[in-house]
Amino acid sequence: MLAALKDLIPGAEDWPRFVRNRSEQYEARLSLVQIPRSSSALLAGMHGSVLPVVVSHGEGFAEFGAAGAGQLAEAGGVSLQFVDNHDEPTVRYPYNPNGSPLGVAGVCSADGRVTALMPHPERVFRAIQHSWAPREWHEDGGWMRLFRNARVFVG
């Protein structure tokens, strides 16, 4: 929905449209994503993390205009990327469930105030929500930081 409203969001001009997955099917499972350095307030301090996240969508392919995904990435507007088993951004299925260029799974506005994500971190923010989690996670999963960042951002 946020991507469809990009004309109303300052700094979101280069955001893609999200259309039918390349697999032509609804994708629902855990995938791995990395958090690149971006201006996203929600993902502050999380860059470099590789985390499992729930994917649950049929229209997640990021279709870019003339500017392309590279320009958005260079400007720090790509906030999440699907990665392969070597932690490298990928377009290969099944690592990238929708086929988006550069593995794009999330974008953010230039000032970082608006972040749009295709995966669902709200479904895996506690360690107990995972089938396996490292002992050092204790109760919180890696995505809990996103929600704490949101709380800090809104004051």
Residue numbers in the chain where pLDDT is lower than 50: none
Predicted confidence at residue 47, as pLDDT, reads: 97
10: buried, middle or exposed (CB in 10 Å: 19+, 13-18, 0-12)?
Answer: exposed
Q: Give the angle subtended at the CA of 20 by the CAs of 19 and 21, to the nearest 5°.
A: 115
> In the chain, how many domains are there?
1
- Domain residues for the domain of 84 are 3-154
**pLDDT 10s digits, 43-62:** 999 999 999 999 999 999 99
CATH number of the domain encompassing residue 27: 3.40.50.880
Predicted confidence at residue 124, as pLDDT, reads: 96
Q: Whose CA is closest to 18, among 75, 80, 76? A: 80
